[in-house]
Structure 1
């Protein structure tokens, strides 16, 4: 399956999971040293070859459709770490709702309520509010001091990376579920995972929790 076909398949999965209302959200995948990104205004469930933009790793438009205005988020994730090979950015309801709340902690806006969130996603910091399409969205993600493979954008949505499209979509789904559980338990005497459980899950599943990032690659 070609990278474009994989992108279309992932877009359909995002829509089926209820993460992409209307034409909102965008997804990308690395193909060599090129970024294949969903075009602006295209529903993710209807992506065809003509709807895919091609960028370089500096964000320059090389061809294809007009790229989503939120391309800086995608390029920033790829610049942060070579382990990031696909990115999903969505405006899913629960993630947006949690992104409108004060964060649980500095390193994660989402509390550690389930082992699956810690295992599959890891700490998810809240990045400052910026208008959609503001290039500063990419700068904020690139310069975030925490280890991460997901973040919430204040009053906006979520952005998640993975080693491939399947993993990025799975993490976006898991993050949405973690945000939904956060909202369902808000104001209640909820029981969070303790530090020992979190440390063990993070170690066993190599997921980021509590650690600071090495940003040398991003600032080269």
Structure 2
């Protein structure tokens, strides 16, 4: 896609995400990798009302080339791209159910959610939990960069998910699958639940490796 087409697609997905209540206010941000940097949604903007021309373009050093001032969380995207050479897009949301899970005690920090469905395993796979850091803390970027070496999606404690994909569509779909799985996880916490077996998970990972 051309840069113009990517800008318009970011705006399209942003509106869809906002309209379906997956993020609210000015929370959440989306980026797409470019050969010479990345496009990222601007700071303090609503994903439901993105101006394609205002989307920020940063060079490979993080300097603004075009568009409005970048998201305050652009450093998260930069850190994940460093560890995900095949990643072409990243979505970060403050989606309700994923954030709720990120606030629970006693989670498996190496892989937060169990394999409830095949599509979660296929689209998300492993989900490490990143310890809490205040917004803008450089240590958060370091933690995301390390975790992203082994997983294309991470969950920030008391904050929300950061998900990369081989395309913008892939990143959006994986983020949506994560949110639905988080919702299922919370609904099933007090129920006797049959998760996918290790063999079933391994078969899916072999067939649909990210």
Category of TM-score, reference length = shorter chain? over 0.9
1:89-111 CA distances to partner (integer Å, 9 max, x unpaired)?
Answer: 00010000000013642321111
Structure 2: 5+ residue stretches without partners: none
Q: Can you list the C-alpha shifts for 1:141-195, whole angstroms capped at 9, x where unaligned? A: 1112762111110000111111111111101100000100010011322222111
2:77 aligned counterpart, secondary structure: helix
Deviates more, 1:196-205 or 1:133-142: 133-142
TM-score (norm 2): 0.92
Distance 1:197 1:114 in 2: 10
Q: Which residue of 2 aligns with 1:214?
A: none
2:37 aligned residue: 34
Equivalent position of 1:183 in the other structure? 186
Aligned to 1:3, which of 2, 6, 14? 6
Matched, 1:156 2:156: no
Aligned to 2:91, the other structure's residue is in SS state strand
Distance, in Å, in 2 between the alignment partners of 1:33 and 1:49 is 19
1:84 aligns with 2:77: no
Task: State how far apart, in whole Å, the 2-side matches of 1:98 and 1:33 are.
Answer: 36
Structure 1 position 13 matched with structure 2 position 16:
yes
Do the aligned partners of residues 103 and 12 (structure 1) sit closer, same or farther apart at CA in structure 2, a change above 3 Å counting?
A: farther
Question: How far did residue 75 of structure 1 move?
Answer: 0.6
String of CA shifts for 1:51-98, please: whole Å, max 9, x gaps. Answer: 311212332333321111111111112111221010000001000000
**Counterparts of residues 99-138 of structure 1 (less than 5 Å):** 99-102=102-105, 104-138=107-141
In the alignment, which residue of structure 2 is the partner of 1:202?
205
TM-score by length of 1: 0.88
Moved more, 110-119 or 61-70: 61-70
Answer whether contact 2:54 2:68 (CA < 8 A) is retained.
yes
Gaps in structure 1 of 5+ consecutive residues: 208-220
User: What do you get for the CA RMSD once the two structures are aligned?
Assistant: 1.6
**How many residues align structurally?**
207
- Number of the residue aligned with 1:64: 67
